[in-house]
Amino acid sequence: MTKLIPIFIDGKRWIQLGQLPLNQAKRFRNWLPKSRVKNLRMGEMVLNDCVDFACYNYWFRNYQISSTDSPNSDF
């Protein structure tokens, strides 16, 4: 399970969906409202498919981790 480190643009933390592993990106996109995906300008570059890190972090902690829990835990 890979968690992205945010990039800082104009004092705000963002992630790019294209940097997620394919299976994680698919699950996150299915959960995420399309209005949350932004194109951002960083200097001369335009970064596509950016999402606020707080939104990604919430999903990662509440949905991603629970979807990868193994049913065969040794308790």
Mean pLDDT value across residues 30-45: 95
Mean pLDDT value across residues 30-58: 95
pLDDT of residue 67: 61
C-alpha torsion sign, points 59, 47, 5, 20: positive
Mean pLDDT value across residues 19-37: 94
Q: Is residue 75 part of a domain?
A: no
Q: Is residue 15 part of a domain?
A: yes
For the entire predicted model, the pTM comes to 0.79
Number of domains in the chain: 1
Q: Is residue 57 part of a domain?
A: yes
Helix (H, G, I), strand (E, B) or coil at 22: helix
For 51, the domain range is 7-67
Q: Is residue 29 part of a domain?
A: yes
CA dist., res. 34 & res. 51, Å (int): 10
Q: Is residue 58 part of a domain?
A: yes
Q: What is the mean pLDDT of the chain?
A: 87
